[in-house]
Structure 1
Amino acid sequence: MSRIMTQAAVTMNQLQNKLDLIGNNLANSDTTGYKTRNADFSSLLVQQINNMNNPANADGRLTPDGIRVGSGAKLGSINIDLSLGAIKETGRSLDVALQQSNHLFQIQVTENDVTETRYTRDGSFYLSPMDNNQVMLTTKDGHPVLGANGPIVFADGFDEISISENGLINVRRGNQTELVGELETVEAIRPRLLEATGDNNFRLPNLAELGYQFGEIIQGVDPSLRSGALENSNVDLSKQMSEMILTQRAYQFNARTISTSDQMMGLINQLR
């Protein structure tokens, strides 16, 4: 296979990954708290071909002799856009929306006997019953929501529950109001470093490999919430459709490069 065909084939594979990413954004345009993923491309290794025996202006030349030939493009990174989405009123007491960009709720997820803290913008919470007539605040998937002192657990049997703008959780029992917990939110200082884990959640990367400290990526902040409301996805449908069309055209151009190169090689082979 020729160099041109190899470059086109490599790039087409990476463009397919971008199309998958765009499709995921479009599919989650109605998902509560979903954040757009954006793809950044980078060039692969560039090879210098010295095919000039007598380069022009050899003495004062500032650029290398010959031709620089790349090896295609690759999907360099997938970045998460944590900007605010539109807020919709639900009137449900356990629905809360974050009102600041880059702010996140903390949840506790256990997978394969490993428990770790993950982060989400989805503020659609529920109460899961526990032993001893207690309930725990969880996500829709049953993961505990973390507060100032860990998972938020309190006694059942209340008449009403509310979450204030500063994250305080109060319940009313008869004529008395009781503070039973406090939501704790964090701010992503470097949101590009967060890793998506599925189910609209994020985790921290391996900090040792990246050379960062925890506080350089995530910092605790005072909650700024809107009770009885949820944040919509921040997916811009018009932008995603435009990106999809451009990516499809780039894919077609690279496919045409392969077919054209194949035709040229066929013509050369037919020469006598």
Structure 2
Amino acid sequence: MSRSMIQAAVTMGQLQQKLDTIGHNLANSQTTGYKSRQAEFSSLLFQQIENLNHPANGTGRLTPDGIRIGSGARLGAINSNMNAGNIVTTDRMLDTALLRENYFYQIQVTENNVTEIRYTRDGAFYLSPINDNGDLMLVTKDGHPVLGANGPIVIEPGFDSIQIQNNGQIIVSRNGQTETAGSLAVVEVTRPRILEAAGNNMFRLPDLAALGYAFGEIVQAPANIDGMLKSGALEQSNVDIAEQMSELILTQRSYQFNARTISTSDQMMGLINQLRT
């Protein structure tokens, strides 16, 4: 296989991953609090070929002699765009939207007997019964507990109404009396690009020690979230459909050009094999 065919084949494989990323963004364009992902490419190992031996080529030349031939491109990283999406009013009492960027709700997730805290911007919450006494827990759409100041938020049954205030407090009404049942534990992630996508519209922290950070340097709990949260509203996805369609067209054309490189190289090799001395 020729060098050009190898370069094209390697690049096509990486372009397919970018197409998958664009498709994932388009599929989640209506997902509450979803953050679009961006694929970034980098060049693979290249080789400098010294094919300019004539002395005249060195006169006044500013670039290195010869030609530089690469081995294709690879997907360097897939980063999440943490810009805030539009806020849409729903008037549902358990819907909330964070008004500042880099602020997240904390969600307790247990998988394979391992419990960890994950972070999300999706503020659509629900109540789920947890025992025979009728106690209710505030959870996500997937049933994961939403963390408050003292852990998962558990509400005793028998209330007449419930509402999440703009300061994160959960107010319930019983027989004409109101009481605070808990408060959302919102945190600020000072370096959101560190977050890793964990699926189900959530993020997790990587091994901070390996990166040279302490937990308190990255995750901070604001003293007061009053004014940072809007009740009865949801943050929409920040996916720009027009931008994603443009990226889709460009990526498809790049894929086609690389495929044409392979077919053209194959045709050229076939013609060479037919030559007779």
Q: Which amino acid counterpart does residue 204 of structure 1 have in structure 2?
A: L
Does structure 2 conserve the Cα–Cα contact (< 8 Å) formed by 1:28 and 1:34?
A: yes
CA shift, 1:50, in A, is 2.6
Secondary structure of 1:47's match? strand
The residue aligned with 1:44 is 44
Q: Which amino acid counterpart does residue 180 of structure 1 have in structure 2?
A: A
The residue aligned with 1:173 is 174
CA shift, 1:149, in A, is 1.4
The Cα offsets for residues 60-101 of structure 1, whole Å up to 9 and x where unpaired, read as: 765433221111111111111121112111111111011112
Q: Which amino acid counterpart does residue 142 of structure 1 have in structure 2?
A: G
What CA distance in whole angstroms lies between the structure 2 residues aligned with 1:125 and 1:145? 8
CA shift, 1:109, in A, is 0.2
The residue aligned with 2:35 is 35
Seen in structure 2, the aligned counterparts of structure 1 residues 110 and 22 have a Cα distance that, compared at 3 Å, is same
The residue aligned with 1:147 is 148
The residue aligned with 2:110 is 110
Mean Cα deviation higher: 94-103 or 245-254: 94-103
**Structure 1 residue runs of 4+, over 6 Å off?**
none
Secondary structure of 1:248's match? helix
What CA distance in whole angstroms lies between the structure 2 residues aligned with 1:185 and 1:42? 36
The Cα offsets for residues 133-167 of structure 1, whole Å up to 9 and x where unpaired, read as: 32111111110101111111131211111111111
Does structure 2 conserve the Cα–Cα contact (< 8 Å) formed by 1:35 and 1:82?
A: yes
CA shift, 1:55, in A, is 5.5
TM-score, length-scaled by structure 1: 0.94
Q: Which amino acid counterpart does residue 121 of structure 2 have in structure 1?
A: R
The residue aligned with 2:19 is 19
The residue aligned with 2:254 is 250
Q: How does 1:83-232 map to 2 (within 5 A)?
A: 83-131=83-131, 132-221=133-222, 222-223=224-225, 224-232=228-236
What CA distance in whole angstroms lies between the structure 2 residues aligned with 1:212 and 1:43? 29
Q: Structure 1 unaligned segments of length 5 or more: list them.
A: none
What CA distance in whole angstroms lies between the structure 1 residues aligned with 2:19 and 2:217? 32
The residue aligned with 2:237 is 233
What CA distance in whole angstroms lies between the structure 1 residues aligned with 2:248 and 2:59? 47
CA shift, 1:187, in A, is 2.0
What CA distance in whole angstroms lies between the structure 2 residues aligned with 1:134 and 1:118? 24
What CA distance in whole angstroms lies between the structure 2 residues aligned with 1:56 and 1:184? 71
Secondary structure of 2:271's match? helix
CA shift, 1:56, in A, is 4.8
Seen in structure 2, the aligned counterparts of structure 1 residues 59 and 159 have a Cα distance that, compared at 3 Å, is same
Q: Which amino acid counterpart does residue 207 of structure 1 have in structure 2?
A: L
TM-score, length-scaled by structure 2: 0.93
Mean Cα deviation higher: 181-190 or 16-25: 181-190
Does structure 2 conserve the Cα–Cα contact (< 8 Å) formed by 1:55 and 1:65?
A: no
Secondary structure of 1:123's match? coil
Q: Structure 2 unaligned segments of length 5 or more: list them.
A: none
What CA distance in whole angstroms lies between the structure 1 residues aligned with 2:211 and 2:272? 50
The residue aligned with 1:259 is 263
Q: Which amino acid counterpart does residue 198 of structure 2 have in structure 1?
A: T
CA shift, 1:54, in A, is 4.3
Q: Percent identity?
A: 69
What CA distance in whole angstroms lies between the structure 1 residues aligned with 2:26 and 2:136? 36
The Cα offsets for residues 197-256 of structure 1, whole Å up to 9 and x where unpaired, read as: 111111111223322222343322343111111111111111111110010000001111
The count of residues paired between Structure 1 and Structure 2 equals 272
The Cα offsets for residues 113-140 of structure 1, whole Å up to 9 and x where unpaired, read as: 0000001111110111123432111111
The residue aligned with 1:5 is 5
Mean Cα deviation higher: 129-138 or 153-162: 129-138
Mean Cα deviation higher: 49-58 or 140-149: 49-58
Mean Cα deviation higher: 231-240 or 202-211: 202-211
